[in-house]
Amino acid sequence: MTTVVEVNGLTKRYGKFAAVSDANFAVAENRIYGLLGRNGAGKTTIMQLLTGQQFATHGTIDVFGESPVENARVLSNICFIKESQSYPEDFKPKHVFKAAPWFFSNWDAAFAERLVKEFRLPLNRRIKKLSRGQLSAVGVIIGLASRAPLTFFDEPYLGLDAVARQTFYDRLLEDYAEHPRTVILSTHLIDEVSNLLEHVLVIDEGKIIIDQPTDELRGSAAVIGGTTSAVDAFVAGRPILHSESLGSFTSVTVEHLSADDRKRATAAGLELSPVSLQQLIVRKTSIPETEFGAQS
Amino acid sequence: MTTTTATLTPHRLESPHRVVSVTRLLFANPFQILVLPMIILVGVLLTNIAIWVLIKSVANGTVPAFQTGALAYVIVYSIIVGVQAISRTFPFSLGFGVTRRDFYFGSLIAFVILAAMYTVVMTILNLFEIATNGWWLDGHMFTPIFFDAGTVPLQSLLYFVSLLVSLFVGAGVATFYVRWKSTGVVCFFGGLTVLIVAAWAIVTYTHNWPAVFAWLMNTGALEMVAWMLVPAAAIAVAGFFNLRRATPKG
């Protein structure tokens, strides 16, 4: 495994408030990472620290083996697309795309042009007159067409409709397959991107609470459904992440089931189903589901 | 599992290129930075000519030569150009993976080029003003008596230095905003006011106003503007240190 990012004991304080506290993680090369967490959990701060936009209070950050702060060698390999990105006064999208190749050595103008068409982005309109979705499209196009070895997308989809979001996910996967690179994507729409993510980092109140490959995380829990009495009998003594009842039917989310467990459950007439990534993260972090579900 | 750390491929664009990229970035939308200020310049000139024509037509007998300080509009507008270029392009550049250092040097180079470009336009208009004996009206906007360096080349130098001072002051003030938002700007101007009042008090208490006036009367425009390079350079240097620890907000 080749490591692109390595973070040790990373803490970022604003006054007394710790936006990130004692975070340790590594990011492997050429994978798609999901950085997930609630609003204000510290996702953006982590991305700003990794891209040298913010300064760490404690701890070390290595990106491509070096500190990213004021390091042109490192930063020229990074593209950071932020939800709240501001643009120079009176810039139009065409100015942004004209300038991009001066900064990104892998910039693919033909790809950018194709994305502009797919997102129906008006090139000649002033950026401050663009809709929220069109503004997001500008960022998404830069992030994809720049093909930076390390690309950050911080909630890049705000205001994008479902079709445009799907276009983003499709193009990201396609282009990633042809031009492997490391992508770190922060999002609230966990289920929408769950098929994209190979590895999940969950941050809550500044702490990394989950750092696992997506498949492993998915396999770490299951939903068992059936009559209340049968389910209760089966799950007795197991840690329960979540339980829901409707009439005499109960469904329970439990941690890791062995092959044996699965056989027993099927024999007992229980129904097994995988947990959605979003559900799982919500359960594991005991984050109220509405916090994630309310986003669009 | 063995873990290795990705190393950087050597062919990537590095520092010197990226300084130039920032300079180009500031000219990426030429309308805002080049065309609009020149439209303002020509607009101010036409307004002045219109006023002179008006005065000539209603005045009886001989009218003294017209002198206007309208050039100050363009020079002051350069401060705004400097402020906008820095404050709006800084967070954008960081997203493009530019270091603060490369951003600032690239911007300052852009300002030197910009001052030179404005100077070329102003020099052409100055030559035309001289050739037509003040737009056929004895009107002087590009070499008014209180802003006269003596010869055409020195006059161009006067434009260039004045513009550069404005752009650098604008850039420097903008870094206070970028670093500390409005608190920074308020503190900067608060500090500046204190300095001016202190200087005023010193001159008053030492009874040196006559000496100050004598210096102002005897010093040419070019020399005076050249002196202003000192505080402008100081602000620009302060700007560098402000920006080194600045973070993009909002």
The pLDDT tens digits for B25-56 are 999 999 888 999 999 999 999 999 999 999 98
Structure confidence by residue, pLDDT tens digits, B138-176: 999 999 988 888 899 999 999 999 999 999 999 999 999
Three-state secondary structure call for residue A286? coil
Q: Which chain B residues are closer than 8 Å to A1 by Cβ? A: 1-4
Which residues in chain B touch residue A26, judged by CB atoms under 8 angstroms apart?
3
Please state the pTM of the whole predicted model.
0.88
pLDDT, tens digit, 9 for 90 and up, residues A170-188: 999 999 999 999 999 998 8
Query: Which 136-175 residues of chain A touch chain B by CB within 8 A?
Result: 148-149
Distances (CA, A) of B148 to A248, B51, B151: 96, 22, 8
Rounded mean pLDDT of A230-254?
87
Distance CA A255, CA A252 (A): 10
- Asked whether A81 and B92 are in contact (CB, 8 A), the reply is no
ipTM: 0.86
- Rounded to the nearest 5 percent, the helix, strand and coil shares of chain B are 80, 0, 20
Angle at A39 between CA A157 and CA A151, to 5 degrees: 45
Quick check: A29 contacting B, CB < 8 Å?
yes
Contact call for A102 and B99, based on CB within 8 A: no
B131–chain A nearest CA distance, Å: 38
Look at B94 and A100 and tell me if their CB atoms are within 8 Å: no
Q: What is the predicted pLDDT for the residue at B11? A: 44
Q: Are B37 and B79 in contact (CB under 8 A)?
A: no
Mean pLDDT of B66-94: 91
Instruction: Give the tokens for residue A190.
Output: 């966990």
Chain-wide mean pLDDT for chain A? 90
The pLDDT of residue B2 = 61
With a CB cutoff of 8 Å and minimum separation 6, the contacts of B42 are none
The DSSP code for B62 is -
Rounded CA gap, A6 and A65, in Å? Answer: 8
Over range A189-213, report the average pLDDT.
92
B216 class by beta-carbon count within 10 Å (0-12 exposed, 13-18 middle, 19+ buried): exposed
pLDDT tens track for A84-124: 888 987 899 999 999 999 999 999 999 999 999 999 999 99
Instruction: Give percent of chain B above pLDDT 70.
Output: 94
Shortest CA gap B138–chain A (Å)? 39
What are the CA-CA distances from residue A115 to residues A82, A95, A134 (Å)?
18, 16, 12
Q: What angle do CA B164, B170, B175 make, to 5 degrees?
A: 130
Per-residue model confidence (pLDDT) at position B7? 65
Q: What is the pLDDT of residue B3?
A: 65
pLDDT of residue A240: 84
Tokens, residue B58:
């209603």
pLDDT score at B17: 85
Size of interface A-B (CB pairs under 8 A): 128
- Determine the Cα–Cα distance for residues A143 and B79; give it in Å rounded to an integer: 33
Residue A286 touches partner B, C-beta closer than 8 Å:
no
Question: Chain B residues with CB-CB distance to A under 8 A?
Answer: 1-8, 11-15, 18, 21, 24-26, 28-29, 31-32, 84-85, 88-89, 91-92, 94-102, 244-245, 247-248, 250
Q: Which of A55-64, A270-279, B241-250 has the highest mean pLDDT?
A: A55-64
Average pLDDT, chain B: 90
Q: Does A89 touch chain B (CB under 8 A)?
A: yes
Position B250 scores a pLDDT of 54
> Which 3 state secondary structure label does DSSP give A90?
coil
* Tokens 């008053």 -> residue: B204
Contact B95 A80 (CB under 8 A): yes
Instruction: Categorize the per-residue pLDDT at A262 as very low, low, confident or very high, splitting at 50, 70 and 90.
Output: confident
Contact B29 A29 (CB under 8 A): no
